[in-house]
Structure 1
Amino acid sequence: MDENTIILYPLSNFTFSTKEAQPEEDPSVATRIQRLQRNYEESGMRRTVEGVLLVHDHGHPHVLLLQIASAFFRIPGDYLQPGEDELEGLKARLDEKLGLGKDVAVDPGMNEEWEIGDTLAQWWRPNFETFMYPYVPAHITKPKESKKMFLVQMPARKVLSIPKNMKILAVPIFELYDNSARYGPQLACLPHLLSRYNFVFMGNEN
């Protein structure tokens, strides 16, 4: 199977549970930008990693999104500590967001390790503001944040544990396409980024 082929398993193969809430570190966008500025002064450019998790439903690719509050959507991930490896850091962030809660035991076949694939995109925050771009503007020499989006190959089965203050949604890629008004430019570009792949839709695993 070539490197541009992605195996997708049906949404029904995955089990969803809940765990303790994970409140957002910042109550508003303004306080998030203020914290970014403090962190930049201490450690330099922030590095953020996120994972694009794909499943299929009725033979169409869906992206797993976390919904926070009523209208804020994101793919799972978070910022790295200074010096932290990107891939190992992403696995740790995925475990933090979607891994099993404490003292939860499941069949080992339902708890396989994350398999991180290609880098799909890299976004840059040139200044202490909300806008990010898929390039570094020509006049910027010291961007304030770099965000990488990685493709994650989902296993045949897995238990995903969702913080109580969030929801997980399987959103079809046709809904994301050209829909930055609802999902923002980074999520709306995912159909373009995924268009170079061939999808193989697997059946149910019991």
Structure 2
Amino acid sequence: MSSLTVYPLSNYSFAVKEQQLEEDPSVVARLQRLESDYEQYGMRRTVEGLMIVHEHGHPHVLLLQVANAFFKLPGDYLKPHEGDIEGLQARMHARVGPEDPAIKSENGGDSEMNGGGSYTAQDWEVGDVVGQFWRPNFESFMYPYVPAHITKPKEVKTWHLIQLPERRILTVPKNMKLVALPLFELYDNAVRYGPQLASLPALLSRIHFVYQD
């Protein structure tokens, strides 16, 4: 059984940086670009990071909230021939890393005092794979397996654990929110969060959480 050291949510400070607009304005546009990219590069590989904190000894997952309705994990698709680890490190840094070393946190402290510092993409500690989802066609549905009749899936999404340090500033684009959702909120709640995020509590059940105060 894999272990993950988990620190309290209160250990982390939050700051704001310039907004990051979605590359595609709609799901239809995203699927159209996926089809175009597939013809040129083949199957898309997407990586996302699972940042876990705790409150009162219960695991919470840090999710990005967009437009008060859509929740997602930080990450994005990889470039051709880009490795999963370095690719996810770069995308975690781009999404919730510092905008600059002198950025101010929302509680008024500077990054050095709050464990932020001028860390780099390589400072994101990428851990075990927790799950994978496969997109068999140019459609919105993804599955935790490759259907038997599919020989050329169009996308694979891989979830990695992220070992957060004891303290860090997480810097969020101003058009998003970073929310901490408890596992009991996600469990069996596909109507609110979709089938992938609703499966997180089951996927994380094999992880031994080591809680630190």
Counterpart in 2 of 1:79?
77
Per-residue CA deviations over 1:5-49 (Å, capped at 9, x if unaligned) read 221100000010000000011111101100101111111110000
Query: Could you tell me which of 144, 148, 153 is aligned with 1:143?
Result: 153
Residues in 2 aligned to 1:37 and 1:104: alpha-carbon distance in whole angstroms: 41
1:159-178 alignment runs, 5 A limit:
159-178=169-188
Residue 10 of structure 2 corresponds to residue 12 of structure 1: yes
Structure 1 position 107 matched with structure 2 position 117: no
Mapping for residues 178-193 of structure 1, pairs under 5 Å:
178-193=188-203
Q: How does 1:1-206 map to 2 (within 5 A)?
A: 4-104=2-102, 106-107=111-112, 109-111=115-117, 113-203=123-213
Which segments of structure 1 move beyond 6 Å, counting only runs of 4 or more?
Answer: none
Aligned-residue offset at 1:103: 4.9
Deviations 1:125-182 (Å, cap 9, x if unpaired)?
0000000001111111111001000011111001100001000100000000000111
Structure 2: runs of 5 or more not aligned? 104-110
TM-score by length of 1: 0.94
SS at match of 2:23: coil
Give the letter for the 1:59 counterpart.
G
Q: Give the TM-score normalised by the residue count of structure 2.
A: 0.91
CA distance in 1, matches of 2:49, 2:99: 20
Give SS of 2:206's match: coil
Displacement after TM superposition at 1:124 (Å): 0.4
Over the residues paired in the alignment, what is the CA RMSD in angstroms? 1.3
**Hey, what's the Cα distance between the residues in 1 that align with 2:101 and 2:187?**
40
